[in-house]
Amino acid sequence: MRVEYINPFVESAFNVLKEVLQGEVKRGELYLKSTSIPVMGVAAIVGLAGDVEGRVLFDMDKPTALKVASVMNGEELKVMDELVKATITELANMITAQAVTKLHELGFKFDLTPPAIFTGENMEVSDQDVEALIVPMETAQGKLEINVAIRERG
Partner 1 sequence: MSSQTNPLDTMILERTEETRKERAEKVDFKMVTFSLGGKEYGIDIMNVKEIARAGRFTYVPNAAPFVRGVYNLRGDIISVIDLRVMFNLPVEKREADAVESLLILRVEDHVFGVIVDSIDKVVGISRASIQPPHPIFGDINVKYIRGIVENAGKLYIILDIAKIFSPKAEKEEHPAHYEAPRVEAAPAAAAGTRSASARSAPERSQTERSAIVDAEMTSGFVKEGLFSFRHFAVSAVNDAWFRARYAEWERLRKGTDLQLHEDGDADAFLEGFLSPYTGTLWGADYLDAVASILPDTDVRSINVWNPGCGKGFETWSLACALRRKYPQARVKIWANDSDLLAISMAPNMVFDAASAPEPYRTYLVKGMNGWTFDQAVRDSIFFEFHDILNANPLPPVDLILCRDMLSFLSPEDQGRVLADFQEKLKGAGVLILGTNETAATGAWRPVGSGAVSAFAKA
Contact positions vs partner 1 (CB under 8 A): 1-4, 6, 30, 32, 34-35, 49, 53, 128-131, 133, 151-152, 154
Q: Which is nearer to partner 1, 30 or 80 (CB)?
A: 30
Burial of 16 (0-12, 13-18, 19+ CB in 10 A): buried
Q: Which is nearer to partner 1, 47 or 142 (CB)?
A: 47
- How far apart are alpha carbons 133 and 147 in whole angstroms? 6
* Helical packing angle, 62-73 and 82-105, nearest 10°: 80
Q: Which is nearer to partner 1, 5 or 58 (CB)?
A: 5
Chain-centre distance of CA 122, in angstroms?
19
Provide the minimum distance between the beta carbon of 49 and partner 1 in the complex, in angstroms, as a whole number.
Answer: 8
Hey, CA dihedral for 7, 13, 16, 21, is it positive or negative? Answer: negative
Q: Which is nearer to partner 1, 51 or 138 (CB)?
A: 51
